[in-house]
Each structure stands twice: as structure tokens, then as C-alpha cells.
Structure 1
Amino acid sequence: MNTLGCIMTRRSYRGKYKNQPVPREDLQKILEAGLAAPSGCNKQTTSLICVDDAEILKK
């Protein structure tokens, strides 16, 4: 799918999520894409935190 097609057909999801972990490689790709996204006036102010440790998530 080309970039414009991907943007035009994206959807939000508000249903239930599966109770299974996302592979760390996939998380890294998602975070890299988020950090590469444009920012207002190219200020690069975005910070992303990813927690995949079950014990930390319980706290």
C-alpha cells in the first residue's frame, strides 16, 4: 500500500485488545515510526516511553 492510501484508509480501534504481548521488534519499529513523525515547527519535542515488563505495568 502506498503512503497516501495508508493515510486515507487508517482507522481508530476502540474494541478489546488481545491479552498477548507485542514482540519487542515490533514495538521498536512502532516507536521508531513515532519518533520519525513530523512535529510542529520541527521542534522534535516528542518523548515516547514503552513498558513491556508485566511487573512494572502492575505497579
Structure 2
Amino acid sequence: MSIEAYCVKCKAKKVMLNPVAGTTKNGKPLLKGTCPDCKTTLCRIGAVKESK
């Protein structure tokens, strides 16, 4: 499953490498991964809908 997130350093949407699920301090779901180009941490807040 490929998850896209916005990279602030590259200023473009990138496919996340090694996404890991977690939660924020107030309990909202998030995914953390790395940018394939610049290795910056990417975060995607909110539940990700899986496509069938």
C-alpha cells in the first residue's frame, strides 16, 4: 500500500517509505514515514482509507 504525504522540504507530495501507525497526543491517528528523496520525516494525520 503506497501512502502519499506532503514533504515540506521538497514542496511536493511523495510516497512514504516505511510508514508506521501511531497516535497524536490528543488521540488522533497518524502515520509517520520518511521522504524517499531527502529522508525528512513525513507525517499524515487522520485515518487512511484502504482501497479494495
> TM-score normalized by structure 1?
0.18
Q: TM-score, normalised by structure 2?
A: 0.19
Please state which structure has a larger fraction of its residues in strand. Answer: 2
Structure of larger gyration radius = 1
Structure of greater relative contact order (alpha carbons < 8 Å, 6+ residues apart)? 2
Higher helix share: 1
